[in-house]
Chains A and B, each alone.
Chain A
Amino acid sequence: MRVGIIGVGLTAFRPSTPEYSWKELMFEAASRAYADAGVDPRADVGSFVTCAEDYYEGFGIFDEFVPDQLGAALRPTCTVSGDGLQGLANAFMQIQTGLIEVAVVEAHSKISDVLTPIGIIEHGLDPIWNKPLGFHPYVVAGLEAAAYLRATHTPTKALDAVVSKTRRNALRNPIAAYGAAVDMDHVAASEARFEPLRSLDISGPADGAVVLVLASDRAARRLHANPVWIRGVGWASDSPSLETRDWAGATYARLAAGMAYRLAKVRRPSSEIDVAEVDDRFSYKELQHLEALGLAKSGEAGKAALRGAYAADGRLPVNISGGSLGCGNVFEATGLHRAAEVALQLRGDAGSRQIDGAKVGVAQAWRFVPSATGAVAVLGAGP
């Protein structure tokens, strides 16, 4: 059975959203997705999957707070404590069982409500071996960036190219919070933070919500929808301990992509994929993830970035949405946003950032520092 994305709903991503509660953000994204899909959530949707972590929300048992703002009261709901792309994989499988015909996936960030976001990320560090040392959790990203650049002989200048390209892309995305005409020199001159990372290598926080409506091919026909097909999904985790994981190669992304490519029958990703949206919440992650996804050879992504290969008019447009560097870090909504972007590109609905002729796209998620968990979805244009 084929499963497709038949509705996309996004709020604007903004550094703060003082006029809306987090529930109202979800309501807005859901209303947009249902309008896009032409579905009534009270009648047409069989299952609702939300993706959230109690700590980011500020209260316990998040899933109990879900139903009403999604039109899901008295309906099957569940919460995945992970990135929205992991929720997409769950909804995909629910439909594959034949039990559910239409499923909704939601993820959001109201990080501006969190007064101590770094403290929450710090709680992800091992409480016995790592956290007592008292380091900023982005130290993990600094260590990994240094290991990646060294292992792959990637020059720091390649990071300048990533940031400049991606934040400029965001200028064409009306929902992006951090679009800016940043030059490579600006990036290189920005303040040192967690060397080799500088302030502009690090995505800034944003609020926002993303809702996707998924349907079986039969339900999609019945609803007269124009689906983008989910050809493959995959997810994986590297060793959870900082000490035993792979510091250079994003093993979690390689394994997740392998699973998704097997399902999608993608054998040569570098020639079969037309657009890629990969996690770039730190600039080096874009390069590391492209290599892990088989879209560049190990050590080649940085050189390709410097040649402009990942620009809108390059060999493989990457993070045309503006990525997280340009759109903002929307935490658990990050991967679902990228799936939404790929879906819009494959539908031809990406506005002034549309990539002509895009038929196959990949979206990849990572659960941010200090995790080594990722998910991948391969999407294909209809019919």
Chain B
Amino acid sequence: MRESRLWFWHILSAVAILFLLGLHMGIMHMGTVLEALGLGSTHPTATAEVFARSQHLFFMITYIALLGTALFHGLYGFRSILCELSLSQSLQKAIGRLCTVAGFALFLYGTYVAVRVFQMKGV
């Protein structure tokens, strides 16, 4: 039951990532097309643009949402791949725990960065 619930979240997180990462990749890599439509810029990694986006509430929230969903989806997928190799029960448990701890630690770090940069003044 627990496994099927986690798998369901894996699928649901894929749909959320599709929108969040689609937005991110569109802005970062479809600059020319977006600029032609009057919606974007061709210098998305320029320092001023990076910090301007980071200090926008909408981007801060979507970055944190993408961080959480992608960490869950990616690490759960990684764990599933390893568990398919017929490992012992105790090793599977250890991998699950390691992925959970790493996921939470990275989520906390990434969220801290997003919030601190959002609050930076005069950059």
Q: Do A and B come from the same complex?
A: no
